[in-house]
Structure 1
Amino acid sequence: MLVLGIETSCDETAAAVVSDDRRILSDVVRAQIEEHRPWGGVVPEVAARAHLQVLDHVVARAMAEAGTEFSQLAAVAVTGGPGLIGGVIVGVMTAKAIAAVHSLPFLAVNHLEGHALTARLTDRVAFPYLLLLMSGGHCQLLIVDGVGRYQRLGTTIDDALGEAFDKAAKLMGLGYPGGPALEQAALRGDPRRFALPRPMLGRPDCHFSFSGLKTAVKLAWERLPAEARSPQAVADLAASFQAAAADVLADRVVRAIHRFRQCAPEGRPLVIAGGVAANQVLRSRLARVAEGEGMSLVAPPLRLCTDNGAMIAWAGLERLQLGLSDGLDFAPRPRWPLDPSAAAVHYAGVKA
């Protein structure tokens, strides 16, 4: 079976064709870096207009590179949420049109589930497994029991880690996109120069908080005299931020592993997914954490960590194989939790 996957939830316009034997026949991603660079971040209306302008061409290229016709598809899958609602609408309406014209099943995929199931596409990971999902909009620890079956162990009570990376990079003048720029700058830095906080470290739960870390970076930068704001100072602050983030992730993940072991068979892996999972320092630290806990770490190839159509096509295939599909009356969703039953988290007046 072949499924076309379409992704437009943020600032990548993507389409891919994936087969049920785990072959990625095409994977086309058109980034919007130049459109958003003048603003230093993603502007929702700009993103939606850019998706509208190029999505038809991206889909056509994905189909051509896969060497297939719409009549040969088993279904069309699309990100139905969560995400920037303008972009999600563009993708959903395009996928509905394709499904209607070619009499194909329509599959509305949770964007987070696309990330969550990528390890099953690339590494044939069996259920259940422990997942650390970290991106610009989300930072969660979940037990993945099956398609559509998730238990949330922890979430961020304020900012996602990817957002913290981007904002810290912007404060230091590293440009857009900030996450990769900060990672590169940190390679030349001393992670011990700036004493930054490790929010939530040592707490008995599995939740995250990154707003305080982001604020500490801002204050550290503002305290530096103008003449001291050298490229080396930028590199040192970037490295200090990245080290603090790694310490927080390591602490939270260990606690989640201990909880996961109470309900999972031996030998289950730790899976990381989402755009921040492309960071090599964080990957290396989490690999050591997993090894120290007697687990393996599964991380998708870098190109499948950031938003892409292949993960949406694969998640659609997984749902299709279970006999699931959606009606053409599906409404795009700006919010769509993987674990709707998870209790709200309250800290200092903040609810997540």
Structure 2
Amino acid sequence: MNAGTDWITTPITESLLRGAIELEPTTHGVLPHRLPAWARAQCTDGQLAMAESQPSGVRLAFRTRATTVELDTLPTKRVYPGMPPRPDGRYDLIVDGRLAGQASVTGGNVLTIDMTKGTFTTEAGPVGTLRFGGLPDHAKDVEIWLPHNETTELVALRTDAPVEPADDRGRKVWLHHGSSISHGSDAASPTTTWPALAASLGGVELVNLGFGGSALLDPFTARTMRDTPADLISVKIGINLVNNDLMRLRAFTPAVHGFLDTIREGHPTTPLLVVSPVYCAIHEDTPGPTMPDLDELSSGRLRFRAAGVPAERAQGKLTLNVIRDELARIVAQRADDDPNLHHLDGRELYGAADYAELPLPDEVHPDAATHRRMGERFAGLVFSGDGPFTSR
């Protein structure tokens, strides 16, 4: 905090936040969640708890004349023994719709995850401060997008001029659910995950329920989507079910129907898009589970491999091609009674030819360039022309 500045501290409330489902009061401030408390109470899985508390798509949004903005946060950094250090989470500053700055917060809690032992430990750390100065001295819309891959408690917001909640400008709300690829995986920053890019190009407000490792057709996720206001909805289904070897085809089909039925209870006529998996060579025709390649891990590189056997498809094990075929069939079956239900083959966002040009670095997650390609393609296919999210 700079001495001599007449700071105004504004409470961080839901009126200043977009993309969060709920705010949890903490010792330091508030923690944005992307699942409500009742849903979190129904599943104690540590991976889901970590993923839903990472604020992908969550941003502060306000209008102000301030030329300097400071934000105190308490991040939780992740450390993987034997792997190169992860970069600090990145915050994107958007002023009047354009990127105006990027920064990170040092310090914070440290979560150490040992992938070879399956253990984790947490060490408490200090609050850090993010500062953006030199902003134009006129009334403007300001957004601070929180790191998509770093749990972030919000402690204090300070400015040198008053702030008020931003006007949503009447834009439609797009509610999306998916896996780590939708969460943001290895995107360069929070505004460059493929859903954030697609939302920007489509001129909509994003609520991103992409949960790394946790797009598993959980009923509480469907109920959360049912109860969340939205003008447009999409669900990207498949890769995590194979990764976890979670269910067989017999369970998958009714689970998809049930997931869609629940969403429709709250959004009976809202455009609803079902997106099948993007291309992933190791699981196109080979079931899960997905395992780290221990030889690569011992050399400090993270790559995944398929631990299933193709012949196991005969016993109902899921592969990406099995899932794509079944999702297309399910949507076609329901379409007569639900004209606002649509289907998109994920390989139109990223297919085999894209893999040859832009391979997945760890065989599962896209890099920054691929996120951009996917976001642009989704916007072109879904938000443009005769796409399912265009007004007719």
TMscore range, shorter length? 0.3 to 0.5
Q: Give the structure with the higher percent strand.
A: 2
TM-score, normalised to structure 1, is 0.36
Q: Which has the higher contact order (CA 8 A, sep 6+)?
A: 1
Q: Give the structure with the higher percent helix.
A: 1
TM-score, normalised to structure 2, is 0.33
